[in-house]
Amino acid sequence: VTDKERYEKLLVGPIERFDQRSDMFRRARYDPEWIERTGAFYDPFQVRVREKAGYGHEEYALSDAAWYVEGVCGRGCRGSDLEGLYAWEHPHTESAHASSDLKIDASDPATVSRKVKRAARLYGASLVGICELDWRWLYSHVSDDTSGEHRPLEIPEEFRHAIVMAIEMDYALIQTSPTGGAAAATGLGYSKMAFVAGLVAQFIRNLGYQAIPCGNDTALSIPLAVEAGLGELGRNGLLITEKYGPRIRICKVFTDLPLVPDGPRFFGVEEFCRKCLKCAEDCPSRAISFGEKTTEALNISTNPGVLKWPVNGEQCFKYWVANRLDCATCIRVCPFNQEEGRLHDLVRLGVKHVPQLDPLYLWFDALLGYGKQLDSATIWVD
Ligand code: B12
Ligand code: SF4
Ligand code: SF4
């Protein structure tokens, strides 16, 4: 069985395009029950700072500032009216060699793909892959989280490919989850996403083609990333990459530039997750499944039809509200979340080729204390 066939078996169906209005962030803005429950999370006058390690004035300052580029120049967490670095159209930044009506010779898509990937890495992507744009992963409707505008999403059919990019988040900061240090890693990831996606899109426009840069908007990021060969879906509902585990953020650029898709790539995540339950055990809101994979939806915030371990977004989001910060504990504790190093490279190889030893790798992970929460004071030490 090829990796592509294995992937297609997960798509049991029927799969319908997901309405962005049903994700937890939008529901928290229009559903009276959720407004009541989560209103404080979005209230700018709510005092979040408190006398608890990791929730002090400095930690909130660090994490809020980390979001700055996304907030001022990106707004890719919004549903519509995307602006700045996520604008769908933008004037060419003409140089002496580029003109708005001159297209590069793209008759060799393999060479073009190589150059686009190189540009993405230069701009800051940690991983980059290409897939055909599968319309099932586009939102059926977009829904603006601030204005409440809700309208069908249309993308011109010439946008046939997606360039999918993963941005690594800081290891030490994430290990402080669920405190302010980890929230800063998340915010910084969002700011970098806007920067990288915006620059890759502008590079493509300068080549004479069209590009739509996306953050969280427009489409589901994880299936696109799996199809572009960046990783596998884990029990924690996140993309697990071979190099960084789930400790990444995903952004994407849709384009009409002729490119060569990479295709899904499996490296032992599913087998490992069957034996490991760390994310489910350590999730403070019990949002992650201890059971079997299913195609059923848990509530209106799940998209049914894909065989996966379901994550209860309602439970997860309730915890964020109580925590007065987001959470990344299901990233912190995952044994695939490791720093670079020879030993870890060896284990990665083992997981891929000798899955019979998975219990041993898990035992070592526990023995060495990986995934334990780091003292939040460590974020201030160089
Ligand atoms: C809404 C949202 C949330 C909400 C609510 C989810 C919900 N069900 O409403 C909440 C608050 C729970 C949340 C939490 C987190 N999120 Co979030 N979230 C999103 C967002 C913006 C939209 C996803 C969505 O519409 N889900 C609704 C439906 C479709 O959910 P679902 O059916 O349960 O499907 C999930 C997975 O199964 C997968 N998926 C869906 N269809 C398919 C199909 C196939 C074939 C495959 C393989 C996978 C897959 O994607 C969905 C992710 O929620 C995405 C960005 C994006 N555009 O994709 C980020 C995103 C998924 N989140 C991300 C992260 C990292 C987190 C958190 C760790 C928080 C943090 N600190 O960053 C937690 C982890 C929670 C968890 N274990 O899943 C990253 C994931 C990176 C990665 N390694 O995969 C994303 C891609 C954002 C980003 N910028 O990178 N999130
Ligand atoms: S982000 Fe936190 S609360 Fe949400 S699923 Fe992950 S561990 Fe659980
Ligand atoms: S913590 Fe364990 S079960 Fe959860 S995603 Fe990571 S490897 Fe899979």
DSSP 81-112: S--GGG-S-------TT--TT-----S-HHHH
Q: Is 335 in the pocket of ligand 3 (CB under 6 A)?
A: yes
Q: Judge whether 226 and 187 are in contact, CB under 8 Å.
A: no
Q: Under DSSP, is residue 211 helix (H, G, I), strand (E, B) or coil?
A: strand
| 70 φ/ψ angles, rounded to the nearest 5 degrees | -60, -45
Per 3-state DSSP, the chain is made up of helix, strand and coil in percentages (nearest 5) of: 40, 10, 45
CA distance linking residue 200 with residue 204, whole number of Å: 6
Lookup result for tokens 């700018």: 44
CA distance linking residue 2 with residue 257, whole number of Å: 27
Tokens representing 365 are 């992970």
Ligand index nearest the alpha carbon of residue 15: 1
pLDDT of residue 111: 98
Q: How many CB atoms lie within 10 A of CB 177?
A: 28
CA quadruple 280, 281, 284, 287: dihedral, nearest 10: 20
Residue minimizing CA distance to atom 18 of ligand 1: 216
Q: Judge whether 247 and 186 are in contact, CB under 8 Å.
A: no
What's the gap in Å between 285 CA and the centre of ligand 2?
7
CA distance linking residue 43 with residue 301, whole number of Å: 23
What's the gap in Å between 67 CA and the centre of ligand 1?
18
Q: What is the pLDDT along the chain (382 residues), one digit of tens a residue?
A: 999 999 999 999 999 999 999 999 999 988 999 988 887 788 877 889 999 999 999 999 999 999 999 999 987 777 776 888 999 987 655 554 555 567 899 999 999 999 999 999 999 999 999 999 999 999 999 998 888 889 999 999 999 999 999 999 999 999 999 999 999 999 999 999 999 999 999 999 999 999 999 999 999 999 999 999 999 999 999 999 999 999 999 999 999 999 999 999 999 999 999 999 999 999 999 999 999 999 999 999 999 999 999 999 999 999 999 999 999 999 999 999 999 888 888 899 999 999 999 999 999 899 888 999 999 999 999 8
CA distance linking residue 255 with residue 275, whole number of Å: 40
**Cβ < 6 Å from ligand 1: which residues?**
10, 18, 23-25, 186, 193, 216, 220-223, 226, 233, 236-239, 246, 248-250, 301-303, 306, 308, 311, 313, 316-317, 326-328, 330-331
Ligand index nearest the alpha carbon of residue 330: 2
Task: Calculate the alpha carbon distances from 154 to 6, 23, 41, 71, 219 in Å.
Answer: 30, 19, 31, 25, 11
DSSP code of residue 19: B
H or E segment to which residue 359 belongs: helix 358-367
pLDDT of residue 27: 93
CA distance linking residue 210 with residue 205, whole number of Å: 5
pLDDT of residue 131: 98
| C-alpha 40 chain-centroid distance | 25
Q: Is 238 in the pocket of ligand 2 (CB under 6 A)?
A: no
Tokens representing 61 are 């300052």
Q: Under DSSP, is residue 121 helix (H, G, I), strand (E, B) or coil?
A: helix
Q: How far apart are the two ends of the chain, measured CA to CA in Å?
A: 48
pLDDT of residue 137: 98
pLDDT of residue 96: 47
Which atom of ligand 2 lies closest to the CA of 333?
7
| 268 φ/ψ angles, rounded to the nearest 5 degrees | 95, 10
pLDDT of residue 140: 97
Q: Report whether the peptide linkage leading into residue 178 is cis, meaning its omega lies within 30 degrees of zero.
A: yes
Residue minimizing CA distance to atom 4 of ligand 3: 279
DSSP code of residue 306: S
CA distance linking residue 242 with residue 345, whole number of Å: 9
pLDDT digits (tens, 9 = 90+) for 355-365: 999 999 999 89
What's the gap in Å between 204 CA and the centre of ligand 1?
27
CA distance linking residue 101 with residue 348, whole number of Å: 47
DSSP code of residue 375: P
Please tell me the total number of residues recorded for the chain in this structure.
382
Q: Under DSSP, is residue 36 helix (H, G, I), strand (E, B) or coil?
A: helix
Residue minimizing CA distance to atom 6 of ligand 2: 330
Lookup result for tokens 């809101």: 285
CA distance linking residue 162 with residue 211, whole number of Å: 9
pLDDT of residue 97: 53
